[in-house]
Structure 1
């Protein structure tokens, strides 16, 4: 940590005076902003301490400690609203809030191996202030420095820990809008909470994953789990192999086996432990040591820790409080989660977009249910898949229950000279409702600029695959009838019998959903489920790799 620069009595004094005058004049010329409404429970006519900062010291502090402009603004605003009263000291000693915040800061540095928040000067001055109490406060310069260092550290910490290292997730294909967090109010609460630790303004999934990160850090310090040597033959119940000793140790560390077992025997409890592991990793749950299972078992603990950290970064982008009634689709998990009154009530398998036709990450409002839908074929599919077939034989459309439309008029496909087009066909091609319709019996629309929606499908066999990335971007649902009943449950005009009666007609029917149901399409490769189990999935679209480069790029480059 840099030492404080020595003051040259005359030169620095003149510079400080000039800087203060310039800063004051600049502030006077700036347009007046709306005043921040202080928390009346924190700020009133009462003074909470007789310790007051000299406001002119802020300029020198910012310069000496190279404080970023955005942090300067937050620090200045904080002290202006409290009439420059100290926040981290009472009359005679350091407050519990200071100690608790510093513990949180140090825990973050340890959990995320993030040295950017470390300050040797804070540690040194904090120890002296804690041990010497009122004697430390008599050292006015040191007391003011520690006061400002803690406040500056708070805004740096909250910006990174709660907002995230990535300031614009749009560059990483994440289009869910973020709500700006009020760190001024958070600090107000912290310094007035009589030492109670501050509540992190993040969602509960972040907190759950953070607890797992701390556990994995503790395992890492102990050396992690042993490497598993893939057996040369397929092992069955009661087979013996020395590799099973390390495997059982690993599954015990993961929590997939409940009791230690140092034998080399393939036991029933080992098969159960393997199935638990496979379930949490999204693998085929066969209780066997296949190649995919062995590969995931041999991921080093450093890989899993980094995977947890990447997904904690994503969770900082998610609203702290999500709607109690919503749908959430996690792309790498291939699952739809249904939430009612803040609790997950059921799940459904889904099929998502292939790597070449990724499903977008965004939030929408499910506003319409369409029974017996037409499938309007996208331009990409027309250009790449259908047009070549039409050039060979326009009868392709009739065989697939499709039609050509211009405006509201159906066009005879044999009247169109398909050979004259290479792309951008000036017609709509759509598939009529019926048993073979690619959207099945129902689709769920949440208007968006990505042309993404949920729908049924006649291709049910794909839901049995463990990896389900087969679509052109839209999301196929394995239980569309159940989802339709759920989405329309607030509308007394619709029940199972009414839906079935419409499906039998094979005529398209649009239903407005009131109120609209929030839909989140997200991308998490590590999370804690409703049973408290830590789950991992593969990086389907390579977005973990891109985020890793964004966050750890310098460290990766330095090792290469």
Structure 2
């Protein structure tokens, strides 16, 4: 029993375990202890500072969960599951199946068995924690991620696992199709990396229909390797190649003009290893979102600059969006909430930070600047600018707020959509329509501007009236600020996915505009995640 033992994930692991963990491992297991024994003392000592684990075993009179002959099914179920850690992009060493198998084989004493008992329980708790809700704490990785992750109660984990190990372990990973598609994409990309990638990079520059030469041939071959172009011997940039370029552009958030310009070539040249990192981060983000998203919900993907209304898994409305600028105090945060109402003909109550940082310096130079904004005192009364010495104040003691009345030129446009939250983030219209024509749309102070706000309002109101457009327009035409409540609040999720798979499995990728994915991947790497890792 001293010879080394290795079990490969996915290659007859159950058979390997039956050999490694068979009856010979513990030929004469002791009866359940009724008093302190070397085993129970070892368990208590190994539990260390974990009061939960220590109490769990004390409550069951140190009856085994893993190391008795009757525990074979449980230990096999867990070891089979955690051997798949690399497939999920999780840190292998937290629950290392191979290391645990080796410890089973090496165990000789009751003290060894007690320590192994606790190690298996720790592995289960760590696995359930990480696979269900993510290996990282979002807010500790990036302060812009405000997402509250739903964590499992450890004692409930132990109870549920003991009752039905396989069912419990199968229930841990996110259940939606998005996670499964990412898992498949990860597998495909790892195979691509192992096979040498997508071939030579496309030379920098611009290629358009009619092009020939080495640059075009590199483009053609790259598109074939990536699956956008069937087997081709084309010697020039023909219609078939242009169609492949358009498909690639659509999947990468680029204007689908069929011309391989600077941005398209840069995206084509991203290595599969880099795309694999994006998928590993997306898997972690999916685990953070292990919640009921709602049969109807609003999905705002900041990295995609888009807002979608999802009904029973299908996109029923979508629009381009503008998000917060890429600066520390203006990046749009990530969180989930519920949209409760819309305000038609809204006033813009200028946030304090904008008032003091942007408008106060203007007013100090020219009291009549920003004349479209009203100056409001602490009692809500409008104040004449001529009565105020702006130079007597600074950002800390400025006693006024500012408000823009409803109008076509209002900064919020003609409607805003509210899901009250502590960060004062909401969706709204805007008079600055030209920004929606850009590929990169990060221009706001943090809120999300919508390209088609009226149509979005109609789509929301269609759930509660037969004439959503008429209802909306009746409020709009009044010119007065009014509130229309949603009879049933709609969950809204502000997310940041740079990688996701469509319904057919085709991958979509976007740039990491805020650098958040890079920070998350670094944290995953520090935790022990290795792209393409194989369980030894």
Give the alignment's TM-score, normalised by structure 2.
0.80
Cα deviation, 1:473-522, whole Å, max 9, x if unaligned, reads: 11111111122223333444973123212222221112233332222112
Shift of 1:67: 6.1
Closer, same or farther: CA 374–342 of 1 in aligned 2, 3 Å: same
Aligned partners of 1:439 and 1:455 also within 8 Å: yes
Distance in 1 (alpha carbons) for counterparts of 2:361 and 2:137: 44
Distance in 1 (alpha carbons) for counterparts of 2:201 and 2:326: 31
Shift of 1:261: 2.5
Which residue pairs with 1:106 in the alignment? 83
Query: Which secondary structure state, in structure 2, belongs to the residue aligned with residue 155 of structure 1?
Result: helix
Shift of 1:336: 0.8
Give the one of 276, 279, 282 matched to 2:253. Answer: 282
Give the one of 297, 302, 322 matched to 2:273. Answer: 302
Aligned partners of 2:406 and 2:480 also within 8 Å: yes
Give the one of 390, 394, 403 matched to 1:418. Answer: 390
Which residue pairs with 1:227 in the alignment? 200
Give the one of 130, 133, 138 matched to 1:160. Answer: 130
Distance in 1 (alpha carbons) for counterparts of 2:283 and 2:423: 26
Distance in 1 (alpha carbons) for counterparts of 2:488 and 2:459: 13
Which residue pairs with 1:20 in the alignment? none
Moved more, 274-283 or 237-246: 237-246
Check if 1:180 corresponds to 2:151: yes
Query: Which secondary structure state, in structure 1, belongs to the residue aligned with residue 375 of structure 2?
Result: strand
Shift of 1:193: 5.0
Distance in 2 (alpha carbons) for counterparts of 1:349 and 1:58: 62
Aligned partners of 1:52 and 1:86 also within 8 Å: no
Closer, same or farther: CA 231–431 of 1 in aligned 2, 3 Å: closer
Shift of 1:141: 8.8
Aligned partners of 1:404 and 1:428 also within 8 Å: yes
Cα deviation, 1:363-413, whole Å, max 9, x if unaligned, reads: 222222111011112223223333343344444444x3x322232422222
Shift of 1:280: 1.7
Shift of 1:546: 2.3
Give the alignment's TM-score, normalised by structure 1.
0.77
Equivalent residues in 2 for 1:423-438 (5 A)?
423=395, 424-438=397-411
Distance in 2 (alpha carbons) for counterparts of 1:99 and 1:555: 24
Check if 1:118 corresponds to 2:101: no
Closer, same or farther: CA 496–311 of 1 in aligned 2, 3 Å: same
Which residue pairs with 2:63 in the alignment? 84
Aligned partners of 1:228 and 1:243 also within 8 Å: no
Cα deviation, 1:74-124, whole Å, max 9, x if unaligned, reads: 486279569825558775x943x6445433322213663844133544334
Equivalent residues in 2 for 1:109-258 (5 A)?
109=86, 112=89, 114-116=91-93, 117-124=95-102, 150-167=120-137, 169-173=139-143, 174-182=145-153, 198-204=170-176, 205-230=178-203, 234-257=206-229
Distance in 2 (alpha carbons) for counterparts of 1:82 and 1:292: 65
Closer, same or farther: CA 147–409 of 1 in aligned 2, 3 Å: closer
Aligned partners of 1:109 and 1:118 also within 8 Å: no
Distance in 1 (alpha carbons) for counterparts of 2:259 and 2:466: 50
Distance in 1 (alpha carbons) for counterparts of 2:101 and 2:528: 25
What RMSD, in angstroms, separates the aligned Cα atoms of the two structures? 3.6
Closer, same or farther: CA 323–288 of 1 in aligned 2, 3 Å: same
Give the one of 490, 495, 500 matched to 1:527. Answer: 500
Cα deviation, 1:150-193, whole Å, max 9, x if unaligned, reads: 44432232233333222353552221212222465556556665
Aligned partners of 1:352 and 1:469 also within 8 Å: yes
Distance in 1 (alpha carbons) for counterparts of 2:209 and 2:275: 29
Moved more, 333-342 or 192-201: 192-201
Distance in 2 (alpha carbons) for counterparts of 1:59 and 1:255: 59
Which residue pairs with 2:22 in the alignment? none
Runs of 4+ displaced beyond 6 Å: 138-147
Aligned partners of 1:203 and 1:318 also within 8 Å: no
Check if 1:354 corresponds to 2:325: yes
Which residue pairs with 1:60 in the alignment? 42
Unaligned 5+ runs, structure 2: 4-28, 530-536
Equivalent residues in 2 for 1:477-496 (5 A)?
477-492=450-465, 495-496=468-469
Distance in 2 (alpha carbons) for counterparts of 1:113 and 1:168: 15
Distance in 1 (alpha carbons) for counterparts of 2:136 and 2:158: 22
Aligned partners of 2:331 and 2:514 also within 8 Å: yes
Which residue pairs with 2:52 in the alignment? 73
Unaligned 5+ runs, structure 1: 4-49, 130-135
Which residue pairs with 1:445 in the alignment? 418
Which residue pairs with 1:312 in the alignment? 283
Give the one of 532, 539, 542 matched to 2:512. Answer: 539
Distance in 1 (alpha carbons) for counterparts of 2:268 and 2:48: 44
Distance in 1 (alpha carbons) for counterparts of 2:49 and 2:131: 19
Aligned partners of 1:311 and 1:524 also within 8 Å: yes
Which residue pairs with 2:7 in the alignment? none
Query: Which secondary structure state, in structure 1, belongs to the residue aligned with residue 280 of structure 2?
Result: helix
Aligned partners of 1:87 and 1:191 also within 8 Å: no
Distance in 2 (alpha carbons) for counterparts of 1:78 and 1:275: 61
Distance in 2 (alpha carbons) for counterparts of 1:61 and 1:81: 12
Closer, same or farther: CA 109–497 of 1 in aligned 2, 3 Å: closer
Shift of 1:350: 0.8
Distance in 1 (alpha carbons) for counterparts of 2:183 and 2:486: 37
Aligned partners of 2:211 and 2:236 also within 8 Å: yes
